[in-house]
């Protein structure tokens, strides 16, 4: 006996543009007479037989949680049923020994405040109060400035590298083979990074020479402790005034030449 099949295909508005929905009606089938099979066809001609296959084909581009595969429409009740399916449990059916039994959750009501008794097993309890929470500064490597030693900057490969600067007599380097350029780099870093006062290494010079890696303070520049006197401030102000006078004279000369 031949099975007569009637097909109807039309656009599906619940899916992206180009998707077709096909209904196949079996008229004289002995097993399932009058059954309607639903299929979907993608724009490229791919045939979809069920909803799991449709979900795998579309992926995350389309939300099919509320899509009814049989009717081809959006049914919001499917989302509600899915949410309530895992939360409700019928306790009237009695206890079961299978694996689908929901395990009990131990809860304590916050309205009943029960006292807590502290039992000390030691006579003298030591409480550590030096634990710091939150963001902390990363530890600095000792003598990290020496990694920049021997490097210089220039505007042209043919030009010589900037010569080593001469430090004032009050700035005395500290550490093994620390040059004046290394001291300048450590001073510049401390001025930009350190938020507290910059005093230099406060440990005695003899102690630092005995074991610099132990007694050095990485948060301070690689110079001995600096003491600023009034004479230093006066000499610095005089130097600034001298340079300003030279700059003013140069600006006047340029202005006279341009006129």
> Where in the chain are the domains?
5-85
Burial of 176 (0-12, 13-18, 19+ CB in 10 A): exposed
Place of tokens 């900037």: 162
Per-residue pLDDT of the chain (259 residues; tens, 9 = 90+): 555 667 888 888 888 888 888 888 876 666 666 678 888 998 888 888 888 888 888 888 888 888 888 888 888 787 666 655 555 555 555 555 555 556 566 566 666 666 777 777 877 766 666 566 666 677 778 888 888 777 777 777 777 666 667 777 778 888 888 888 888 888 888 888 888 888 888 888 788 888 888 888 888 888 888 888 888 889 999 999 999 999 999 999 998 887 6
CATH class entry, domain 5-85: alpha beta
d(CA 257, CA 159): 30
Strands 47-48 and 73-74: unpaired
Rounded to 5°, angle at Cα 101 from 95 and 106: 95
Cβ neighbours for 101, distance < 8 A, ≥ 6 positions apart: 95
Short-list 44, 46, 38, CA closest to 69: 38
């Amino acid at each position: 006996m031949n099975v007569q099949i009637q097909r109807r295909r039309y656009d599906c508005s619940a899916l992206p543009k180009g998707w077709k929905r096909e209904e196949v009606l079996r008229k004289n089938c002995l097993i399932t007479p009058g059954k309607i099979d639903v299929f979907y066809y993608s724009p490229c001609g791919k045939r979809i037989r069920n909803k799991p296959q449709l979900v795998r084909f579309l992926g995350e581009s389309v939300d099919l949680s509320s899509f009814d595969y049989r009717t081809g429409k959006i049914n919001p009740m499917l989302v509600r049923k899915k949410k309530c399916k895992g939360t409700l449990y019928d306790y009237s059916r009695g206890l079961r020994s299978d694996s689908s039994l929901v395990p009990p959750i131990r809860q304590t009501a916050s309205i009943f405040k029960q006292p807590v008794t502290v039992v000390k097993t030691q006579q003298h309890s030591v409480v550590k109060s030096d634990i710091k929470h939150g963001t902390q500064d990363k530890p600095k490597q000792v003598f990290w400035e020496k990694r920049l030693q021997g490097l210089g900057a220039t505007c042209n490969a043919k030009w010589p590298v900037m010569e080593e600067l001469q430090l004032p007599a009050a700035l005395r380097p500290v550490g093994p083979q620390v040059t004046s350029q290394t001291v300048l780099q450590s001073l510049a870093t401390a001025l930009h990074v350190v938020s507290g006062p910059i005093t230099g290494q406060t440990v005695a010079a003899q102690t630092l020479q005995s074991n610099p890696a132990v007694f050095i303070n990485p948060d301070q520049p690689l110079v001995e402790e600096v003491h600023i006197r009034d004479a230093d401030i006066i000499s610095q102000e005089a130097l600034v005034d001298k340079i300003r006078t030279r700059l003013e004279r140069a600006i006047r000369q340029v202005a006279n030449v341009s006129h």
